[in-house]
A = this chain, B = another copy of it.
Amino acid sequence: MRDVLAAWRPVIDEEIERLLPRETGADYATSFFGPPTYDYDATAIQHALSDPVWALLDRGGKRWRAVVCCLLIEGFGADPHEYLPYACIPEILHNGTIIVDDVEDGATMRRGESALHHEFGTDVALNAGNAMYFFPLKIVSRDPADLAPDTRLAIYEMLMHELNRTHLGQGMDIHWHNQQAIEISEQQYLEMCACKTGCLGRIVARLATILTDQPEEVEHHAARYAELMSIAFQIGDDILDVETATEAGGAFGKGIGNDVREGKKTLMAIHAAREADPERAARLEELLWADENSTEEIAEVITIFEETDSVAYARECALDIATEARDHLAELDLADEPAENLADFTRFVVERDV
Q: Answer whether residue A317 sits at the interface, using C-beta atoms and an 8 A cutoff.
A: no
Q: Is B44 a contact partner of A176 (Cβ separation < 8 A)?
A: yes
CA distance A44 to B181 in the complex (A): 13
Chain A contact residues, majority secondary structure: helix
Known contacts A104-B123, A126-B100, A160-B137; is-contact A49 B191 (Cβ 8 Å): no
A302-343 to B contact mask, C-beta < 8 Å, 1/0? 000000000000000000000000000000000000000000
Q: Answer whether residue A153 sits at the interface, using C-beta atoms and an 8 A cutoff.
A: yes
Interface 9-residue window, one of A66-74, A166-174, A206-214, A282-290: A166-174
Q: Is A40 a contact partner of B171 (Cβ separation < 8 A)?
A: no
Known contacts A34-B165, A188-B39; is-contact A174 B105 (Cβ 8 Å): no
Q: Answer whether residue A45 sits at the interface, using C-beta atoms and an 8 A cutoff.
A: yes
CB distance from A259 to the nearest CB of B (A): 15
- Counting chain A residues whose Cβ lies within 8 A of the other chain, the interface size class is 35 or more
Q: Is B123 a contact partner of A105 (Cβ separation < 8 A)?
A: yes
Q: Is B168 a contact partner of A141 (Cβ separation < 8 A)?
A: no
Contact partner of A157 among B105, B131, B141, CB < 8 A?
A: B141
CB distance from A106 to the nearest CB of B (A): 7
CA distance A192 to B164 in the complex (A): 28
CA distance A172 to B198 in the complex (A): 34
Please name 15 further chain A to chain B contacts, defined as beta carbons within 8 Å, in addition to the given A39-B190, A105-B123, A156-B160, sorted by A numbering: A29-B168, A34-B161, A38-B191, A39-B185, A39-B188, A41-B175, A45-B168, A47-B175, A104-B126, A104-B127, A124-B171, A127-B174, A133-B134, A134-B160, A141-B156
Enumerate chain B residues within 8 angstroms of A178, measured Cβ to Cβ: 121, 123-124
Residue of B nearest to A189 (CB): B38
Known contacts A150-B149, A178-B121; is-contact A160 B140 (Cβ 8 Å): yes
* 6 examples of A-B residue contacts, CB within 8 angstroms: A37-B191, A41-B175, A41-B184, A48-B175, A103-B122, A104-B122
CA distance A126 to B122 in the complex (A): 12
Residue of B nearest to A124 (CB): B174
Residue of B nearest to A173 (CB): B44
How many copies of this kind of chain does the complex include?
Answer: 2
Q: Is A130 a contact partner of B133 (Cβ separation < 8 A)?
A: yes
Contact partner of A45 among B29, B149, B171, CB < 8 A?
A: B171
Enumerate chain B residues within 8 angstroms of A36, measured Cβ to Cβ: 191, 194
Known contacts A100-B126, A141-B156; is-contact A194 B44 (Cβ 8 Å): no
- Chain A contacts with B in 94-134, Cβ cutoff 8 A: 100, 103-106, 121-124, 126-128, 130-131, 133-134
Enumerate chain B residues within 8 angstroms of A43, measured Cβ to Cβ: 175
Which 10 residue pairs are nearest across A and B when measured between Cβ atoms?
A48-B171, A44-B175, A39-B187, A131-B167, A38-B191, A141-B157, A156-B156, A104-B123, A44-B172, A37-B194
Q: Answer whether residue A163 sits at the interface, using C-beta atoms and an 8 A cutoff.
A: yes
Q: Answer whether residue A152 sits at the interface, using C-beta atoms and an 8 A cutoff.
A: yes
Q: Is A172 a contact partner of B134 (Cβ separation < 8 A)?
A: no
Known contacts A37-B191, A126-B103, A178-B123; is-contact A44 B171 (Cβ 8 Å): yes
